[in-house]
Amino acid sequence: MSPEDVPRLLQGKIFQNVYMCAKCGYELFSSRSKHEHLSPWPAFTGTIHDDSVAKWPQHNQPDAFTTVSCGKCGHGLGHEFLNDGPKRGQSRLRIFSSSLKSIPKGNKSASQGK
Ligand SMILES: [Zn+2]
């Protein structure tokens, strides 16, 4: 559980946002895997589904990072930085906020795009 979940739990309900592909609406990330980072872009440690994103390693780049796109429609999402997560061994997925739609889990409007 991340620290930002605590005040929400104290309010009596677990509040969880789901981040979807802005193009096709596929579920990509949960706010549970979101973490703060110095960069202005949203950062995640993992995806909701195993096939939420497709990864395209950039072998010709000096830093170990991977281009990440939507696993469903191929919409470009951002990059994964290997071993740059909040814990040792975790990756940091830096996603462009313009590539995501955020909705509260359980919201009926979440069915759009399916
Ligand atoms: Zn998509």
Residue 86 region by backbone torsions, left for phi larger than 0, else alpha for psi between -120 and 50, else beta? alpha
Architecture label for domain 5-106: Beta Complex (2.170)
User: What residues pack around ion ligand 1 (CB closer than 5 A)?
Assistant: 21, 23-24, 26, 70, 72-73, 75
For the chain, domain boundaries: 5-106
Distance 52 CA to ligand 1 centre (A): 9
User: Which carries the bigger pLDDT value, residue 12 or residue 101?
Assistant: 101
Residue-wise pLDDT tens digits, 1-60: 555 555 545 554 556 789 999 999 999 999 989 988 888 889 999 999 999 999 988 777
CA of 23 to the centre of ligand 1 (A): 5
